[in-house]
Amino acid sequence: MWRIITRPGGSSGGGALSFRDYGAVIIAPYAVHLFICGEVLILGLKERELVKRDRTLMFCHIDSTIPAYVTGVVVICVILIAMGFVASIAIYIRRHMAASRLFQGRQVVNIQKMVFRFGVFTILPVFGLALSITQVSSKRSGLADGILTITIGTLPAGAALIFGTQSDIMRVWMFWKKPCASNAPLESAKLAIASV
């Protein structure tokens, strides 16, 4: 992602995006999720006595504290890396703000939407980090299960804030409507960032 944002622009093809730029960012989350699901499924089928229902009765899980601690530690490390990445992007954008065409004319409205989206992306990792640390350090399994339930319930709300409140994304999702030529804020943003 950092390579995509800081890539040089230009009409010579140097700024063209390829599968190498986007492939890992798009595929990696799905691959990791499918790998974890497959691992848990295989373990649950082999060791059925380890499969227990959660105290909240919402789902079943492997009745072992080791996977929970490993997952919590991994999530904390990933969130810390993501927070550093978000901070680096914020610094990069701020340094190049004056030279960017994004802040001229009618693009100001689109910038406000982008700032809101970026803010939600920044707040959610902090919230997730706090929940993960609390879950890992919790001595009572009931409290840990409750925190996990809060996390599961919060994710759809975060997704709704990031995607549902952005008119440019909603226009893309409404594929049955004819696109307007003037509704291209994301393309304008990409071109302006690429030319910085």
Stretch 70-90: mean pLDDT: 77
Assess contact for 88 and 2: CB atoms under 8 A.
Answer: yes
* Count of C-beta atoms within a 10 Å radius of residue 90: 13
Identify the burial level of 71 via C-beta atoms within 10 angstroms of its C-beta, where 0-12 means exposed, 13-18 middle and 19 or more buried.
Answer: middle
CA distance 129 to 72: 9
CA distance 126 to 138: 18
Least confident of 19-23, 121-125, 177-181: 177-181
pTM of the full structure: 0.48
Question: Has residue 51 got a pLDDT over 60?
Answer: yes
Q: Which two tokens stand for residue 117?
A: 């989206």
Nearest Cα to 113, choosing from 180, 162, 175? 162
